[in-house]
Structures are given as structure tokens and as C-alpha cells.
Amino acid sequence: MQHQQNILILDFGSQYTQLIARRIRESKVYCEIHTHSFPVEKIKEQNPTGIILSGGPMSVYEDDSPKVNPEIFNLGIPILGICYGLQLITTNFGGKVEAAKSREYGKANIELVDDDVLLMGVNDGSVIWMSHGDYVTDMPNGFTVTAKTENSPLCAISDPKRKIFGVQFHPEVAHTQFGKRVLDNFIFEVCGCKADWTPQHFISEEIEEVKAKVGSKKVICALSGGVDSSVAAILIHRAVGEQLVCFHVDHGMMRKNESEAIIKMFDDHYNLHVIHIDASELFLSRLAGVTEPEKKRKIIGNSFIEVFESEAKKYSDAEFLVQGTLYPDVIESVSVKGQSVTIKTHHNVGGLPERMNLKLIEPFRELFKDEVRAIGRELGLPEIFIKRHPFPGPGLAVRVLGEITKERLDILREADDIFISALHEFHLYDKIWQAFAVLLPVQTVGVMGDARTYENVIALRAVTSTDGMTADWFRFDGDFLENVSNKIIRSVRGVNRVVYDISSKPPATIEWE
């Protein structure tokens, strides 16, 4: 989609780059992340309203550190350099960057030195967030210092004539008190953007684009029942109506009553043409005896493609496939050395488009999860559905550790249902990014009545996160955990022990497999 105005973020490998994008989009301005080696010709073609150079883990004076094409400073486009970005601006304009005697990491207080459009509305002495081992020791030509801290005498620099600015701190992180103001000053005051990138605007643009692309052809969609595929289906349905056919494949590893609830919701409210395929027996027979996680995923992925393909062949006039791919899946990620660029390929229905000769429609490939939720709200999806926690494609298969059988899946379904119901009951569900139960492949001794038991262990997992990239375990109070544990052990046959997982990501992942 071509956007009339957009901010281009060039990534130098900072862990905070996605945060810059999220903050700008929160201000209703469209922005995109590209790797630092994004060619100048393409930048000219895109004609961004402003450019932001991100932070990065390297030192600008190292030989193999990522550089920026100096030509971008002559395009007449406003530029803001953050941390490493500031240091790139400095070296490009004849200043000097050196290693600091002590790394500055964490909170510092900003001291305003000179009036500056970028720092308008920032309180003198307010808290900023630092994360750097180098600092500017000689000013670049044509710039003035606008702020300093105790350890960084040149903490913010400005050349309003050329509209080039640099800050040593990170305005995108929540710890910087007036960080949002600094970014807003850049996008609105310096670049002159308008705050018009809204869900309504996105929906109407996308509908027009899909109509033009699809014409009178058929479109198919794999409807998992997750937020992304459901919002995508409703959006595309708005554009092409009856030309959209949705398939919901029940692979036998959905949560309790989940497939029925999904079909009912779409039948009752959205007039969508949904075909329900119960392929649980096929999947379970192929998974019999398999314990290795990667092998399980492969079997499920391949079987899914096979089932979907055989159903979709009945619609030989279909030319398009809808996928709920999100922006974090397509962002080019920069390695620490800045040289190798790896593009994460992660398609919900991997391999299908090529095999079936279908063209892809990915309405959300420029959006973050919370933006998809906002679009779902605008399209009238129920809140309880929009706020659903992420659920993996292979479903409960990655939460039944060891061999997958119907019996083990049923044990997990019951335990998981008790846990999730309790989260809703105690109004905790919306405070958590993802919560679920895991069935472990170990059995432990217990006592029930007067008899010894030798039964299964259920682990509970609940994490907080903003995007799933990092996550922290949720601090339940002991009474809640005790309540859930008692209920699971009393109600679910075959379970005599419940444990709670207190690992963060990293080093652990959110899912267990």
C-alpha cells in the first residue's frame, strides 16, 4: 500500500527499533522499518516525510560497524538520529565519537541548554533513558548542543536549517518521561505529518485495494479462529462478499469446544461462508508415537496443507489466498554485526500459495498485533474475541509434551479450560498476554483418598508482554493458584500435581515446545 506520508526508520540492530515504530503509529502516523542498507534510490522512490536512524549495539568507529549512505543527508528530508543514529550523524558531519570512561545505562536527568523544536514541552531535569558505551566528544559542523546530562555533555544536537537532529537517549522507551513528546515534535512540528493513519482509514484503503486486485475472482481463507485470521476474513468479506470462501480445519488439537464456538460466531453474526472440516482422526493417526517437537510440527503443517488443498480444489476458480501475516514476521532483522540480513519467513499456511498457484492477500503485513485488534473492534468483532490470547498454529500439540493421543489431549483440554475460566472469573485474563496449561511427559506419585496414585503433572504458564518478543511471568497471588490447582486435581482424571512456570523470555520461550 502506498502511503501519502510516512516515516522511514532505518534499523542499525537496536533491540528498541520496533518500539520506535509502535510509538509513531500510536500517534496515528504511518511508518516502516527497513534495514540500514536500504538503497537511497528506494528511499527517493518512497519519498518519506521523515527518516529516523535507530540505535544499535556497535560502535561507529569500528571497521565493520553498520554505516549509512551519506547521500541521505542531502535529500532535504528531516532526519532524527537516536543513540547510534546520533553518532552516525556526528561522524558524517566531521564530529568525533569515542568510548566513554563508563557506560551509561539506565535513567539520567536531562538538562536543557538551548531552545529547540525537538525538545519543546520537555521539562528540564526530567528522566531520560540511556543505553550507550560511546559518546560524542567533538561537535559535528553546523550543529548546536540543545541538552546535556551529567555524563553526556552533548546529549541532544540540532541543525534546524537542515532539519537534522540527534539525541543520545531513547525517546521510544517508556522510562523516558517526555519521550513521546520528542517523537511527536519530530513527526508533527519538524516533518509536518498529519495524524490521519487510523483504523477507519486503513479499512477503507484496504477494501478499495482488495476490490481492485481481486475483481470477480474467488478468494479462499484458512480460518483458524485466531484474532488475525478472523479479522482478515471479515475485512476481506467486506471487500468481496460472496467471493470469499473460508475453511476451518479442526485438526483435533483445538481447545475445549473451540471449533464449535468459532463456527457458531461466524454463522450467527457475519454471514461468512465457512466450511468446517473435521480432520482430527487423520492428524492423530499420523502423530501416533511421535514425540520429537519439530517432527510433530512438520506432520501437522504438511497434513494441514494436504487437507486444505484437497478441499480448496473443489473451488477451482479460486485465485487468491488470504493470510494473517503480521508486520513483525516480515520486518528485515539486522544481525549485530550489521552485515547479514535475515528475513524471518513465517507464513501461517506455509507452502500453500506456491503449491496451489494462488496469489497472496496479506492485509496485515504492515500491522502490529494491537493494530489488528483495533481494526477488529472497528469491524465490530466482539471484545471477548478481540482480546483472545495468541494460540499457536499446531494448537495443543505443542502443549502436550511427548506423545499426542486423544486421551492426553482431553486431559489437557479440561485442565486448560479450568485455568482460563478462572482467569476470566477473577478479571485477570486481559492483564495477561498469553496463558495456558501444559501436560508434561512425566508422572508423579500422589495420594488420593487412601490410595497412592501415579499420575500426570500439569504446568500452568502465564506471561505479560507487549509483542511476544520478550515476556515476563505473571505474578498471581497464592490463593488464586491454590484455587486453580485444587480444581484441576479434583476435576481432571489422571492429574495429581500442578506446577507454575516462573521463567521469563529470554532465556525460556513462551511455549514449551
Q: Measure the CA–CA gap between 11 and 14, rounded to whole angstroms.
A: 7
Q: Is the pLDDT of residue 356 over 80?
A: no
Of all residues in the chain, the percent with pLDDT exceeding 70 is: 93
CB atoms within 10 A of CB 271: 10
Instruction: Quickly list H helices, 96-247.
Output: 179-184, 199-214, 227-240
In the chain, count of helices (H) and strands (E)?
Answer: 15, 21
pLDDT the model gives residue 507: 87
Q: Is the pLDDT of residue 258 over 90?
A: no
Which residues have a Cβ under 8 Å from the Cβ of 453 and sit 6 or more positions away? 445, 446, 447, 496
Contacts of 80 (CB under 8 A, 6+ apart): 50, 51, 52, 53, 118, 165, 166, 167, 186, 190
Query: Mean pLDDT, to the nearest integer, of 326-354?
Result: 51
Q: State the residue for C-alpha cell 478481540.
A: 386
Cβ(181)–Cβ(121) below 8 Å? yes
pLDDT in tens, 202-236: 999 899 999 999 998 999 998 888 888 889 999 99
Each residue's pLDDT tens digit, 278-303 = 999 999 999 999 998 889 988 998 89
pLDDT of amino acid 332: 55
The CA distance from 400 to 300, in Å, is: 14
pLDDT of residue 261: 84
Is the bond leading into 507 cis (omega within 30 degrees of zero)?
yes
Q: Which long-range contacts (CB under 8 A, 24 or more apart) does 18-23 make?
A: 18/328, 18/331, 18/368, 18/467, 18/469, 19/172, 19/173, 20/52, 20/54, 20/82, 20/172, 20/183, 21/327, 21/368, 22/172, 22/368, 22/370, 22/466, 22/467, 23/171, 23/172, 23/179, 23/180, 23/183
Calculate what percentage of the chain has a pLDDT beyond 90: 48
The answer on pLDDT for 341 being more than 60 is no
Q: Which residue has the cell 482480546?
A: 387
Q: What is the pLDDT of residue 43?
A: 92
pLDDT over 50 at 381, yes or no: yes
Can you give the pLDDT at residue 346? 36
Stretch 42-63: mean pLDDT, rounded? 90
Task: Give the residues across from 132 on adjacent strands.
Answer: 104
Strands 359-361 and 318-322: parallel
Is the per-residue pLDDT at 340 higher than 70?
no
Query: Taking residues 44-72, what's their average pLDDT?
Result: 89
pLDDT of residue 163: 94
Tell me if residue 171 falls in helix, strand or coil.
coil
Q: How confident is the model at residue 337 (pLDDT cuts 50, 70, 90)?
A: very low
CA-to-CA distance for 513 and 511, rounded, in angstroms?
Answer: 6
**Contact 355/309 with Cβ under 8 angstroms?**
yes
pLDDT digit string, tens, across residues 62-83: 888 888 899 999 999 999 999 9
Cell of 87: 553518532
Side chain identity at residue 180, one-letter code = K
Residue 124's pLDDT band, with cuts at 50, 70 and 90, is very high
At residue 349, does pLDDT exceed 60?
A: no
Q: Is 367 helix (H, G, I), strand (E, B) or coil?
A: coil
Given pLDDT bands bounded at 50, 70 and 90, which one contains residue 195? Answer: very high
Which is higher by pLDDT, 104 or 361?
361
Query: What is residue 348's predicted lDDT score, i.e. its pLDDT?
Result: 47
**What CA–CA distance (Å, rounded) separates 105 from 133?**
8
Q: Is the pLDDT of residue 347 over 50?
A: no
**Mean pLDDT for the chain?**
87
CB of 415 closer than 8 Å to CB of 437: yes
Q: Which H helix or E strand runs over 99?
A: strand 96-109
Q: What is the pLDDT of residue 330?
A: 72
**pLDDT per residue as tens digits for the range 136-191:** 888 889 999 999 888 788 889 999 999 999 999 999 988 898 999 999 999 999 99
**Per-residue pLDDT reduced to its tens digit, 490-511:** 999 989 999 999 999 888 889 9
- Measuring CA to CA, which residue among 44, 16, 46, 45 is closest to residue 32? 46
Residues making up the chain, counted from first to last = 513
Active site residues: 83, 170, 172
What was the pLDDT predicted at 102? 66
DSSP 258-298: HHHHHHHHHHHHT---EEEEE-HHHHHHHHTT---HHHHHH
Residue 148, C-alpha cell as written in the block: 546535556
The pLDDT value given to residue 342: 37
Per DSSP, the three-state class of 138 is: strand
Q: Using 50, 70 and 90 to split pLDDT, how confident is the model at 314? A: confident
Residue 25 confidence (pLDDT): 92
Q: What angle do CA 321, 323, 329 make, to 5 degrees?
A: 140
pLDDT at 73: 93
> Would you say 496 and 455 are in contact if contact means Cβ atoms under 8 Å apart?
yes
Residue 202 is classified by DSSP as: H
pLDDT of 350 > 80? The answer is: no
The whole-number pLDDT of residue 262 equals 83
Instruction: Inform me whether the pLDDT recorded for 413 exceeds 90.
Output: yes
